[in-house]
Amino acid sequence: MDQSGSMRARGGLLARFARKKKDGRELAEKIPFDPEKQIAVLRSSICTGEKVAGFKDLEGGHFTEVMLIRDGKDEQRFREIYGLDSVKKEY
């Protein structure tokens, strides 16, 4: 905070914690998708309606969360990042 009690956006505390917009390559490198061993899934909570996109392992059924889906744009971005035509939905 400066003397007036407000935080400076540049170089201050807010700048350190500001979210950086990531491109799809970083996400795809961090969480890889193997279509031979996994399927893309959009999980939706019956209680809260929260949606999470991720990958489900075909052998063990383990689900790996990739990103929160807030709207159709997020779902479209998920499909574009991983080159998917469709995503299976689970409840």
Domain count, the chain: 1
Locate 12 and state its tokens.
Answer: 């201050």
85 falls within a domain: yes
pLDDT in tens, the chain (91 residues): 455 555 555 555 555 555 555 566 787 788 889 999 999 999 999 999 999 999 999 999 999 999 999 999 999 999 999 999 999 999 9
Amino acid at position 48, single letter: T
Range(s) of the domain holding residue 53: 22-90
8 falls within a domain: no
Quote the longest CA-to-CA distance of the chain.
Answer: 59
Beta strand extents in the chain (DSSP E only): 38-44, 51-57, 63-69, 88-90
pLDDT at 6: 52
5 falls within a domain: no
pLDDT at 29: 80
Number of residues in the chain: 91
